[in-house]
Amino acid sequence: MREIIKMIVVLTVLSSFSGGLLAAIRGGTKDKIEYQQLVFVKGPAIRGILEGCSNDPIVDRFKIKDGEIERSFFVGVFDGKANTVAFEGIGKGFGGDMGLMVGVNIDDDKIVGMGVTTHSETPGIGSKAKTDPKFSNQFKGLAAIEPCKVKPDGGEIDAISGATVTSRGVCVGVTDATNIYKRLKPQVAEKIKEFK
Amino acid sequence: MAKTITQEFVKGLWDEIPPFRLVLGLCPTLAVTKSVENGLGMGVAVIFVLVCSNILVSLLRNIIPPKVRIACFIVIIATFVIVVELVMQAYAYPLFLTLGIFIPLIVVNCIVLGRAEAFAYKNGVVRSIVDGLGMGTGFTISLVAISALREVLGNGTFYGMSVFPPAFQPFTFMIEAPGAFVCLGLMLCMMNLAGNK
């Protein structure tokens, strides 16, 4: 009996000590980990879109509640003015969901750039959406309040040859992002004033 | 049979070097040694876990009841592994991405559990620290040796730096999984030849 009690006590104390230690370390590293994930997963796309900005868009970010989801917005400062935000929309590609980072200038509602963050498209074909600047540059200057479409669907985006589904998915994702933008613009305009 | 402190350290470097002599911990040895950077990162993570768990097991060796000792060891080891995982995510995210599942798998690495059971549970704190350091260093040296061979032959680079003229055609086989087995086998063979003199 004594032995069993000792076992239970030792294991309990050990486990709770371990739980406490891990909770403390997790709390201490949480922000840093979130930052690192942004830098390495979304960072390249964000930096590509907000090229030439004078701040670090990954540090200057804010969140807005959109229904049940919290969306992150990354702020770009150009010529001393915080007037550009980058945020993510979701489009369905050939191999599943794709994350599309879209940058919008809030002064004239125009798209300043688009970049793919996460995707599982066919390497060498659909994956060109991420790697081929010719494709992503087409989105620059489009109005962020209108849906965007590929040419066969009556839009103005040249699809990547052999990857119509992917190209269409990117357009759907960008449209999704513009819808988010339309919905949240008042809050975005409010929040962005905090950044200079 | 009592060994000096120095002997406890040195045994991990040659006589009982984990992957070659004890043939323990082969899963990470084969899987992460594609590049020297990965091998070194994995080795350092294992040194940390090994030393910390040895210290704690040795300190608690009179408290831990023998019947549940393995469960206690696993709790201690798992705690330190998660510490490594979190710290690596926070400060070396690319390394964390390439090592991936092999960091959590340190929990079940035979070397760590083996040293807790075979050494730290029966010896004092100082000896356990030295034992952990020696074994960990031995493991790291082995990983770096294998990954150096594989990276140099399979990719023509060492720690990311080119070592061959551009005309060198990389022997890609060495980077693939079968190359790991061949490489480990050859190194074991050489270790045995050297030991039999």
Q: How high is the pLDDT of residue B73?
A: 93
Per the CB < 8 Å rule, is A11 touching B78?
A: no
DSSP reduced 3-state for A83? strand
Q: Looking at chain B, which residue has its C-alpha nearest residue A15?
A: B75
Instruction: Give yes or no for residue B99 having a pLDDT over 70.
Output: yes
Could you tell me if A11 lies within 8 Å of chain B, comparing CB atoms?
A: yes
DSSP SS3 for A77: strand
DSSP E strands: which ranges in B76-176? 157-158, 161-162
Residue whose C-alpha is closest to residue B40's, from B170, B140, B188, B160: B140
Q: What is the DSSP letter of B2?
A: P
What pLDDT score does A85 carry? 85
Report ipTM (2 d.p.). Answer: 0.75
DSSP state of A121: P
Is the pTM here over 0.90, yes or no? no
Give the start-to-end residue ranges of the domains of chain B.
Answer: 5-195
Encode pLDDT of B137-154 as tens digits.
999 999 999 999 888 888
The shortest CB-CB distance from A10 to any of B63, B83, B90 is to: B63
For the cut 80, the answer to whether the pLDDT of residue B196 exceeds it is: no
| C-alpha span between B112 and B49 (Å, rounded) | 8
Cβ within 8 Å, pair A40-B76: no
Summarised one tens digit per residue, pLDDT across range A44-65 is 778 888 877 878 887 888 888 8
- C-alpha span between A184 and A188 (Å, rounded): 6
The residues in B 102-131 lying below 8 A from A, measured between CB atoms, are none
pLDDT in tens, A34-46: 888 888 877 777 8
Per-residue model confidence as pLDDT tens digits over B13-38: 878 888 888 888 888 888 888 888 88
Whether the per-residue pLDDT at B166 is higher than 80: the answer is no
* Cβ within 8 Å, pair A40-B87: no
CA distance A149 to chain B (A): 35
| Reported confidence tier of residue B52, pLDDT bands at 50, 70, 90 | very high
Residue indicated by tokens 């990547």:
A160
A29 touches chain B (CB under 8 A): yes
* Contact residues, chain A, for B94 at CB < 8 Å: 40
Query: Is the Cβ pair A14, B72 closer than 8 Å?
Result: yes
Rounded alpha-carbon distances, angstroms, from residue A105 to A97, A110, B113, B152, B185: 25, 5, 56, 48, 60
- Does B178 lie at the interface with A, CB-CB under 8 angstroms? no
CA distances from B156 to A190, B139, B165, B176, B183 (A): 54, 24, 9, 14, 16
Mark yes or no for CB contact A40/B93 under 8 Å: yes
Q: State how far residue B50 is from chain A, nearest Cα, in angstroms.
A: 16
Residues of B within 8 A of A39 (CB-CB) are 93
Identity of the residue in A10, A11, A32 whose CB atom sits nearest the CB atom of B90: A32
Among the residue ranges A144-153, B39-48, B93-102, B128-137, the one predicted with the least confidence is: A144-153
Backbone angles phi, psi at A81, to 5 degrees: -125, 130
Q: Is A6 on the interface with B (CB under 8 A)?
A: yes
For A181, the token pair is: 């933008």
Compute the residue count for chain A.
196
Can you tell me the mean pLDDT for A90-117?
84
* Smallest CA–CA distance from A16 into chain B, residue: B75
Residue A81: pLDDT band (50, 70, 90) is confident
Strands laid side by side in the A61-66 sheet? A61-66, A69-78, A81-92, A97-105, A110-116
Amino acid letter for position B193: L
Name chain B contacts of A20, Cβ cutoff 8 Å.
Answer: none
